[in-house]
Structure 1
Amino acid sequence: MSTADRQPKCINCKRGKQIPLTSDVLCPFHGVVSVNYVCKRYSYNWFLSRPKRKRSINTSDFSLSSFSIVD
């Protein structure tokens, strides 16, 4: 995840809920605020992050001798 996505904004806060009809966020402490608003109670929501996908391994490149310890 890039650092631009991790900037403190209410849209990334675990307490904020996005209002579907507008681009605003409903904060339990400050009410309706803009997505760029940040308060001292900001806490990053880790469930918003998308982990990178693992690379697929081409298993045809390996054979049984690739994993042998004894020559």
Structure 2
Amino acid sequence: MIDWSTCPAVECHPDVVSGAWVFRSTRVPVAALFENLEAGATVAEFVQWFPGVGLEQAKSVLEHAARSSLAAA
């Protein structure tokens, strides 16, 4: 399980998207990035499809997930 609380690109509020982790200052769930990538989308396509999410935010989330995976191994 990834600890998103240490990733500056995301935030979680109980009254925003039912408390899901979202990209900071948006209502776009972090899970949407991974779902779209698994479906074959590129990061560039994702940020086009979800206005408000910046390329650097998406890259930060992916880097955080990668670091978390390495730490758990």
TM-score, normalised to structure 1, is: 0.31
Larger-Rg structure? 1
Give 1 or 2: higher helix fraction.
Answer: 2
TM-score, normalised to structure 2, is: 0.31
